Amino acid sequence: MLERLFDKLNSCNEDDPEEGKVVQLSSAQRDELTFLAVLAPFMETNLRAPVEAKLFTCDASPGGAGATSASVPPAVAKEMWRYRERRGFAAVLEQYEELYLKASGRQAAEGDDFAPNREWLSELVSALPHTVAQQFRFPKQHHINVAEMRARRALLRRFAKQRVSGQTRRLVAYDSRVTIGVAAKGRSPSHALNHEQRRTMPYLVGPDMQEGALWVDSKRNPADHPSRRKPIPPPASALGWVKSFLSGDFSALDARLRVAAAGLGSRARGVVTWEPPA
């Protein structure tokens, strides 16, 4: 939202002789500050808003967008809300070389933001029965990160049209780290992504709805199938901890995350193999 203000800040560095100098704000920067002041009374969080007892997934392919929904027990949804992404990932457009490596199966080297402690959501998602919540084709092709942001906007717009969505929290899983980064941070250095984010915000602010973004890996994201006009496959066999967690034993997720933390420690010592618990 504060694109012009951030542009000025991003252009400064400690070696710049103009660093620390008082400058006059441009008309665009004054407009953004005025807009921020107008919205200030609405910048609050409803701490009592219930978490919808559903887990949504969202994805986009070069030709279309898809989303799914799966019911979970209310207590489980509330517990999952605690693990939503707050900091997120890098919120910039992926370069075409990286996108080509993904498409050709030659995935780029893992970045520092890779963490096995996010694998639990993929294991949970794959064990749930999903139904199609959204499916449509794009009129023209976009950069895949922009397409994923448009799929997110369409899903949140669908929520905003439903009266029951007002003053609720919604869990949505994405396989796009860029989309999660923008959702968690609220902005992006990319003008294209910022444009989509600005168009998305009314669907959250208007109905007083909160989004809890989660990460699911691409192979286990059921929303990929409706985005490609394919049927959703049946759920996989649930792991032991998933069965316990869905039945209300929240210590099962705690134990799962401890195993993930041990895997991260091994990776830091140069041991890159990691297996989920049976």
Query: Per-residue pLDDT for 92 more than 90?
Result: no
CATH of the domain at 188: 3.30.420
| Domain contains 170 | yes
Structural domain boundaries, residue 95: 51-238
| Domain contains 271 | no
Average pLDDT over residues 123-151: 95
| Domain contains 180 | yes
* pLDDT tens per residue, range 179-209: 999 998 888 888 899 899 989 999 998 899 9
The structure's pTM equals: 0.78
| Domain contains 11 | no
What is the DSSP annotation of 46-104?
-TTPPEEEEEEEEEE-SSEEEEEEEE--HHHHHHHHTTS-SS-S--SPPPHHHHHHHHT
| Residue 168: partners with Cβ closer than 8 Å, 6 or more residues away | 49, 50, 51, 52, 209, 210
| Domain contains 23 | no
At residue 36, the 3 state secondary structure works out as helix
| Angle of CA points 74, 77, 83, to nearest 5° | 155
| Domain contains 138 | yes
Average pLDDT over residues 111-126: 74
Tokens of 87: 């900091």
What is the DSSP annotation of 103-133?
HTT-PPPP-TT--GGGHHHHHHHHTS--EEE
| Domain contains 260 | no
Q: In total, how many domains does the chain have?
A: 1
| Domain contains 102 | yes
Tokens of 272: 């890159």
Name which residue leads in pLDDT, 71 or 267: 71
* pLDDT tens per residue, range 36-77: 888 788 777 888 999 999 999 999 998 899 999 999 999 999
